[in-house]
Structure 1
């Protein structure tokens, strides 16, 4: 991207220098006009006017070409995009249900352990079961978060690829709470637009 931008700037600067030399030649021609006849003056003025109009057309065309061939770059807030995706909300709700179910088992074992009258052998058995269930609980949380996040991002990336093709974007930069973007105009922040797009895609592909 940066090489492309530098390449375009180089030729744009070179083009501007050529125009300046051309304009300097026109100025010299204007200075010579005063020494010519009225007919010659009118003829030369007509030529110079046509040249000036031609230059304006060329400059306008070059500006339009460069503007339309520059890479289209936008960015999104990854955290906002992830949290706003309907698939994320659904899997989060499913994960919370499983989390609460497993937590109830731990709470019940802990309550039994706190009861009076239990023998030392019973307490040791409950403690071992409690430790095992807690390890399973923590492993579930870690695995669920990792696997489900991977599924969500895989779906988001696929929809974002379709979105970039529809909008003809060259780059869609992702950032976490805009930390990696020092400055960006609001017009290039397409987070909300992309959220609407991926949710429509998701609801239509279920």
Structure 2
């Protein structure tokens, strides 16, 4: 009996000496949203989007003016000549739409590629952060519910954002100073 008590006491002592897993979670969306590099990218990319929209609007207005001019002239033309010019105008509009569609797709691909790169940087940073700070696990909280509940004590989102961004400011905030 004495041996069993000693064995149980030893077992309890060893198990209590084992290290506890250090587990925390971060709000993935918040970390990526607050990543200064992402904010900088969005500001620069918005300039590209604005330029594209301005170009598309300008081309649309030019076609509209050309169409109005055609309508005014079409009444004085014979029918075959009017149909010819109408088809040419229609083809021009289709080519313009095709070109703008391709440019828009290229912008979307460029934007998504950059966002994917930034997300990879965040993941790598969180992994390194976890290693440096002794975490066994850092879980990602997201809309899909990978972390359904977590104590606020285990939420390291703000600490990760601060470490990720360091003391650097976004280029936009630097420009304002």
Mark yes or no: TM-score above 0.5: yes
Deviation, 1:63, is 6.3
Aligned to 2:63: 113
Runs of 5+ consecutive residues of structure 2 not aligned to the other structure: 71-84, 170-177
Aligned to 2:54: 104
Deviation, 1:65, is 1.4
User: Normalising by structure 1, what TM-score?
Assistant: 0.62
Compare the two structures and name the one with the higher helix fraction.
Answer: 1
SS at match of 2:62: helix
Tell me how far apart the structure 2 counterparts of residues 193 and 110 of structure 1 sit (CA, whole Å): 48
SS at match of 2:139: strand
Aligned to 2:154: 188
Which of 104, 129, 133 does residue 138 from structure 1 map onto? 104
Tell me how far apart the structure 1 counterparts of residues 123 and 15 of structure 2 sit (CA, whole Å): 34
- Alpha-carbon contact 1:74-1:171 (below 8 Å) kept: yes
Structure of higher CA gyration radius: 1
Superposition RMSD in Å:
2.8
- Alpha-carbon contact 2:24-2:155 (below 8 Å) kept: yes
User: Normalising by structure 2, what TM-score?
Assistant: 0.72
Aligned to 1:71: 21
Alignment: residue pair count: 150
Runs of 5+ consecutive residues of structure 1 not aligned to the other structure: 1-17, 24-54
Q: Deviations over 1:133-169 (max 9, x none)?
A: 3312331232123210121022212222221122111
- Alpha-carbon contact 1:160-1:194 (below 8 Å) kept: yes
Which of 156, 160, 179 does residue 145 from structure 2 map onto? 179
Deviation, 1:185, is 0.3
SS at match of 2:149: coil
Describe the shift of the 1:162–1:76 C-alpha distance in structure 2 as closer, same or farther (beyond 3 A): same
Tell me how far apart the structure 1 counterparts of residues 39 and 136 of structure 2 sit (CA, whole Å): 29
Deviation, 1:111, is 0.9
Q: Deviations over 1:45-78 (max 9, x none)?
A: xxxxxxxxxx6x985x546413xx1221111111
- Tell whether 2:128 aligns with 1:162: yes
1 or 2 for the larger relative contact order (CA 8 Å, sep ≥6)?
A: 2
